[in-house]
Structure formats: structure tokens, C-alpha cells
Structure 1
Amino acid sequence: MTKHLCKLAVLIAACFSVAGFAADSVTVPAQNVDPALRAMLPADIQKSGSLISVNNGSFPPYEIATSTNSLEGASADLANAMGELLGVTIHHASVSGLSGLLSGVNSGRYQLGFGPIGDYPDRQAKNTFIDFVQEFVVFAVHAGNPEKINGLEDTCGKRIAVMAGGSAEQVIRTQSARCTEAGKPAVHVQSFVDQPTSILAVRSNRSDAFFSSQAPLIYFVSKTNGQLELAGVGKKNGFHDIFQGAVVPKDSPLSKVVLAAFQTLFDNGTYAIIMKKWGLENNMIKAPGINLAKEATQ
């Protein structure tokens, strides 16, 4: 991420303060180093005592950038707990856009993307996902839903904001083609690099809706003083079951150790404590898994 974009991401994130959303009174239990887990790490990581996790800098309440190289949120708490288990420090780096994140992981510049990042079969060709949450995709719209956007079928001719390079962008572009095939106006797809910018586009009436993951939308909508609301809740909206997780290069040895570390955090209750702290209890799954996604988007 360029210096200008880093400053912009931090500035925008500051507009959506964590205060009042996170349960500040919740204490996340400290983890003891697990020698067996640490021994599973590649030798170079054991020697350096650190690894780098890349993020978009904007995926509340999972990832909330507090500077260009530090995070708050559920993923930050989980990464910290995992680092304690493994006896390493997990450093955070921000890039612009999902494509930059995935290419950075696959080039070896970063060891992993903690995410959670959408797990889809087409992405599994180059990546391994260690899934730890389930997600849903809905719309953030103006209060009262004046454009009556209650599902994909209502987006023809509308200005729909999406995250550039994400699965929601693929779905909305497919829907746009369906609109024109049916003789209706195409969807005006507006691609943005992060969540806050997309939300601001709706709030400033440059977009009719933001089509994105439900968990961060709940967070952002709660910060708009009643300006926005959710729509399309409870519908598939072009998706099958959506699993999200950390991502490493395909067949990376890190996948097994990250999975094992997640399983420990699930088993000892830390996962549930962190997810509930950030209001994400409805996104919890029973156990982490590798490449849980079996179906592509519709």
C-alpha cells in the first residue's frame, strides 16, 4: 500500500471508532507456548521467531487498522493468541485490495493472510484456506430502503458498491449480465479498494447500496446513526454456503500448523470468547477446516 493510501485507510477507519462496539471488559486469556505446535513450524520461522500476516487494513470487526502496521479486531485477537501458542510474533502488513493480498501471499512476500478471506473452489487452485468462520452476503442501503433493494433481482439499473477483486464483485457482474439479457438496465458496478470507502459512497449518495459480507456491514451500519440499514438478509444472494479463513500458498506446510493452532483455540474456548467479544457469535463454526468450500458462487 502506498504511503498516501495507508494514511487514507487509517483516517477512514478512525471515522468508525471501535469504542462502543467491542466489549472492552472482555479479557482474552493468554496462551502458553505449545512445544508440539511450535515444532510444526518451518525451521526459518522458528529461527526468526516471527511471521508476517497481510491484510486489507479494513474488514471490521475482524480487521481494524489502527496504523499502517497494526490491527485491532477479532482477527487481531486470534492472531495474537495463535502467536502465543506458537511462540512467535505475528506482524501485520496492509496492502490495497484483495488481489494484492493474494499475490503477496503467493509470491512469498508474506507468510499468510489471516483474514478471514473468502474460500471458493476457484481460489483453492492456488491457495489453501484454513477456514474458521462462516459468512453471508447482504446489502447496506439507505434507511427505509428507498431503492427497494431486497435481493440480487432488484439491482438492475442500480449503483452497487463492491470490494474490488472480491467474490461479491463477481456475483454482481454476473447479475448485471442477467439484467441485460432480460432486457433490463445493467447494474452500475462501483468497485472500491476497502470497506469504509464503500460505506461512505452509500452514505454520500454516490451508491445505492453496498453488497458485501454481513459481519462488517453490521459493524458499519451500527456506526451510521440510523442512516443505513441492512437488506437482503436471509437470502442466498448468489452464494452457496460461504466459509472464510486464513490463506497460505497451496500446499504450504503452514496450513497444518495454522489448522492445529486454530483447533487448540477452539478446544480451549478462546475462539468463542474472541468471536463473542466482537459480536460475531452468528459467524462461528463448530470446528476449523481446510478448504471447506465445495461449491462455487451461483
Structure 2
Amino acid sequence: MRLSRTALAAVAALALASLAACGGSDAPSSPAQGGTKLYEALPDAVKEAGVIRFAGDSHPPYRIVANDGKTVTGIDKELQDALAKVLGVRTEITIVGGLPAALSGMLASRYDAFNGPVKDTAEREKQFDAIVWMVSRTSYLVPKSASSTIQSSGDLCGKKVSGTAGSIVEDQVKRLTEWCVKQGRPEVSFLGLADTNGTILAAKSGRADAAGMTESAALDAISKEKDAFTYVTQTDEQGAGVDQLAMLVPKAGGLGPVMLDAFKEIFENGEYRRIVDKYGLQNVAVDEPGYNTAAAQ
């Protein structure tokens, strides 16, 4: 049944009054199409669609997926909202089953970007532009029931570690294994799973002795279950180093340079710092965004 203009106006007024009474909504409004200095620089395909399509797996605190499997909150959502405002288009996230699905989906033009955050490598830069916006060290979430035997990352030699398949953690476990072997100790066994939630469940259930992830993800898990976990961090001696973590954008789409400029703008306008401070990422923040840093090394 169609409503008259008067009725529609009344409904709109009632909705606004309800929001005001509740103190407003935390959900940011979608940006108006165009109207920003970066909008005209966007590829025509993005302007015509009016949306940048992100792939994303379940990866707290970056992407916290609700029970409906669609609603996403967390760092990635807030970062995308900030980028959308300066680009003049909205963003949307489709939940996929891990890094391989995100990469193949971008190459098949189903998605425009993936904000892992994923390690920037020269191999990935052959097909994707990488905008580096944070750094990280790999940490291992350890159930407190096993903490007496795992008090440092060196104690993971001979143990089973769960991690997201194809992620930075898988590479880090290989480096840790190399260190273990040099010490005359047994290798670390890696259990590759679809997402971070799965890796945590594997550690809780005893399928793995520890779950590998970024330090910020480990801290997030501990904050939710304070009495369940502790964590250890891989050292430089064990091949950890500091990894450059990036948003990936397919080179073929031409979005990379514009996305870099959008990151520069949210650094300048304070939105990047607001998100960093809100989620306690100060130790892994960068002073300015990087671009294809692996190829430049």
C-alpha cells in the first residue's frame, strides 16, 4: 500500500525523534555519492557501481561477524567507513572463507579490495597493489591449562600450532620451525584453518597447543576470555622481525593509487589515529601509509 507524502513525512519525523531520544545511532551514515576531491580519480567501474566491494574473513578484532553471518563490526569496518567518506562512495563487506578465497575473488573481479591485514610480499605485488597501514609481530595464544609447558615461543618446538591457512602466521611458523631445528629440537606442526575463530577453537579444544595470530588479535581474545589464555611472542632470533601489513587491491582495476591517497587523507584528518587509539594499536601503527613496500626493498 502506498503512503501519501504527508504520511511519509510523519514516519520520517517519528524516526528522527526516536533516534534523538536514544542519543543517535553508532552506525555511520553512507557517504553521499561523489562530492570529494578523490571521487573523480576513482576508476569508472567504481564510480558507476557507487561502492567498493571488500572481501573479508572472520578475524577479530578486525572483522567481528555477527550471528547472521553478514553484519560486521570492528577495526576493518571503521577503517572502511573512514575511507568511504573521503572517496565519496560507500563500502560493503562480503564474508569469505579465508585468504585464498579473498585473493581468488579479487582476481575474478568479485571484490575490489581485501584488508587482511595481510603481509605485503613481492610475490603478491605482482597482481595486487599493497597499501601498508600497520606492522605486526606474530604471537601465539596459549590456553592457560598449557601455560606451564609453554612459557615462551621457544617452547612451541615439537608442539602443534593452529593458524589461518595462507596467512602471515603460516610463514612465521616455518621460520620458527627452522630455528627449532637449528637448536636440535623438533619441528613445529602447523594446522591450517579458515579463520581466526577456528584457530582459537582448535587451541581451546586441544586440537592445537597454541593459536598463531597478530598480537592485537591475541590481546583481543584475552580481553574476551581473561581467565582462558595467555600468549607468547615470536622473537627476532626466531625469524619474526616486523612484518608490513597491508590492504590489497587488484592492480588490474586501477584502484590502488586512489586508495593510497585516501589513506593519506585519513592519516591527515585524524581518523586513522582515532581508530588506532580506540583499539589499542599504538604499538603497531605507522607514521604514514606505505605503498608496495616489498618491491621497493
Q: TM-score range by the shorter chain?
A: 0.7 to 0.9
- Compute the TM-score of the two structures, normalised by the length of structure 1: 0.81
Q: Return 5+ residue gaps in structure 1 as ranges.
A: 1-24
Question: Is the CA contact 1:242–1:293 (under 8 Å) kept in the aligned structure 2?
Answer: no
Q: Return 5+ residue gaps in structure 2 as ranges.
A: 1-24
Out of 162-171 and 225-234, give the one that drifted further: 225-234
Output aligned runs, 1:1-298, within 5 Å.
35-56=36-57, 58-66=58-66, 67-143=68-144, 145-151=147-153, 153-176=154-177, 179=180, 184-232=185-233, 235=236, 237-250=238-251, 252-293=253-294
Change in 2 beyond 3 A, CA 1:43/1:251:
closer
Per-residue Cα deviation, 1:124-143 (whole angstroms, up to 9, x for no partner)? 22221111111111111122
- Compute the TM-score of the two structures, normalised by the length of structure 2: 0.81
Out of 251-260 and 225-234, give the one that drifted further: 225-234
Q: Percent identity?
A: 27
- One-letter amino acid of the counterpart of residue 170, structure 2: E
How many angstroms apart in 2 are the aligned matches of 1:45 and 1:136?
34
Say how many residue pairs are matched: 270
Q: Per the alignment, in what secondary structure is the counterpart of residue 133 of structure 1? A: strand
Question: Is the CA contact 2:235–2:241 (under 8 Å) kept in the aligned structure 1?
Answer: no
Q: Per the alignment, in what secondary structure is the counterpart of residue 293 of structure 2? A: coil
Q: C-alpha displacement at 1:71, in angstroms?
A: 1.4
Per-residue Cα deviation, 1:150-178 (whole angstroms, up to 9, x for no partner)? 12x43221111111111211332354466
Q: C-alpha displacement at 1:273, in angstroms?
A: 0.8
Per-residue Cα deviation, 1:97-150 (whole angstroms, up to 9, x for no partner)? 111111111221111113322212232222211111111111111227222351
Out of 126-135 and 261-270, give the one that drifted further: 126-135
Q: RMSD in angstroms over aligned alpha carbons? A: 2.8
How many angstroms apart in 2 are the aligned matches of 1:226 and 1:79?
33
Question: Is the CA contact 2:141–2:212 (under 8 Å) kept in the aligned structure 1?
Answer: yes
Q: Per the alignment, in what secondary structure is the counterpart of residue 288 of structure 1? A: strand
Q: C-alpha displacement at 1:83, in angstroms?
A: 1.2
How many angstroms apart in 2 are the aligned matches of 1:273 and 1:235?
30
- One-letter amino acid of the counterpart of residue 62, structure 2: Y
Higher helix proportion (structure 1 or 2): 2
**Residue of structure 1 equivalent to 2:5:** none
